[in-house]
Amino acid sequence: MIKVDGLHKYFDDLHVLRGIDLEVQKGEVLSVIGASGSGKSTLLYCVNGIEQIQEGSVYVDDVDVHAKTTDLNKLRQRLGMVFQQWNSFPHLTAMENVALAPQIVRGLTKEEAKDVAIKQLEHVGLGDKFDVFPNALSGGQQQRLAIARALAMDPQYMLFDEATSALDPELVGEVLDTMRVLAEEGMTMICVTHEMGFARDVSDRVAYFHEGIVEEIGPPDQIFAEPESEHTKKFLAKVR
């Protein structure tokens, strides 16, 4: 379970997150929507400890993410993260991209790491690209590579930060399909997304972010069909 309590985050004077309370249960898929700059990415970064927080707390399975004694590297193995910009490592083949972290972080042997990599590459539909370098892959393929790379760490949770925003429209589908498969397999996910169709079909709950607070949260039917907040209504009217 991921539990966010009274979270405040500042960038110098900029108050980006202004008291966030959230719980994501095991097996749940939470979609986070909201205007640009409302703090969606920042929330994910606070959850996996890339960004510091100023107030409140974030717990992942009873581990206090921002406690001084927390081993973040260990924690991050439990939290897979996929970014908007596909960050494939250009100097490594697809296989090596996926196998590297399991080997040096999880401590698997070379063979074990390779097996994991093969499994995850096939999982995301890149079974024929083992020895290809990222610059020979399309954006959609690189993003699926990034997903495979995160999955290879055997995470309990997956955090997606607008995984499809930087893709050409015709490539969005293949990545969303991969994410959909993960959700069906029972992965716990927080998906920051601009894909309203995905948010509606796949998520268990949808959170609408407005200027650093969770303005409204609930099942997709409720958020999309009968939003309560004026801000939510306005936002949804705009993106449709």
Partner 1 sequence: MFEYNFHWRPVFKSLPDLLEAALTTLQVASLAMTAGILLGFILAVSRMRETGLIYWFATTWVELARNTPALFQLFFFGFGLGALGFHLSPYLIVLAGLTFNTAGYLAENFRGGFEAIPSTQLRAARSLGMNPWQAYTRILIPQVMRIVYYPMTNQFVWVVLMSSLGMLVGYRELTGETQFFASKTYRIFEYFAVTAVIYYVMVKVILVLSKFCASRFFRY
Ligand X SMILES: Nc1ncnc2c1ncn2[C@@H]1O[C@H](COP(=O)(O)OP(=O)(O)OP(=O)(O)O)[C@@H](O)[C@H]1O
Which residues are at the interface with ligand X (CB under 6 A)?
11, 14, 16, 34, 36-42, 162
Question: Is residue 74 part of the contact set for partner 1 (CB under 8 A)?
Answer: yes
Q: Which residue is nearest to Mg ion (CB)?
A: 41
Question: Is residue 38 part of the contact set for Mg ion (CB under 5 A)?
Answer: no
Find out whether 33 and 208 touch, Cβ atoms under 8 Å: yes
Q: Which of residues 218-237 bind partner 1 (CB under 8 A)?
A: none
Torsion region of 19: left, alpha or beta (phi above 0 gives left; psi -120 to 50 gives alpha): left
Least distance to Mg ion, CB of residue 52, Å: 18
85 binds, among Mg ion, partner 1, ligand X, none (CB under 5 to 8 A by kind): partner 1
C-beta of 179 vs 206, nearer to partner 1:
179
Q: Which of residues 41-70 bind partner 1 (CB under 8 A)?
A: 48, 50
Least distance to partner 1, CB of residue 89, Å: 6
Question: Is residue 88 part of the contact set for Mg ion (CB under 5 A)?
Answer: no
C-beta of 129 vs 210, nearer to ligand X:
210
Q: Which of residues 92-151 bind partner 1 (CB under 8 A)?
A: 93, 100-101, 104-106, 133-135, 146, 149-150
C-beta of 30 vs 152, nearer to partner 1:
152
Q: Distances from the Cα of 94 to the Cαs of 13, 32, 130, 218, in angstroms?
A: 41, 29, 5, 38
203 binds, among partner 1, ligand X, Mg ion, none (CB under 5 to 8 A by kind): none
Q: If you write DSSP's letter for every residue of the chain in order, what string do you get?
A: -EEEEEEEEEETTEEEEEEEEEEE-TT-EEEEEE-TTSSHHHHHHHHTTSS--SEEEEEETTEETTSTT--HHHHHHHEEEE-SS----TTS-HHHHHHHHIIIII---HHHHHHHHHHHHHHTT-TT-TT--GGGS-HHHHHHHHHHHHHTT--SEEEEESTTTTS-HHHHHHHHHHHHHHHHTT-EEEEE-S-HHHHHHH-SEEEEEETTEEEEEE-HHHHHHS--SHHHHHHHHHH-
C-beta of 121 vs 167, nearer to ligand X:
167
Binds partner 1 (CB under 8 A): choice among 10, 59, 83, 224: 83
Instruction: Give me the residues that bind partner 1 (CB under 8 A), please.
Output: 48, 50, 73-77, 79, 81, 83, 85, 87, 89-91, 93, 100-101, 104-106, 133-135, 146, 149-150, 153
Interacting residues with Mg ion (CB under 5 A): 41
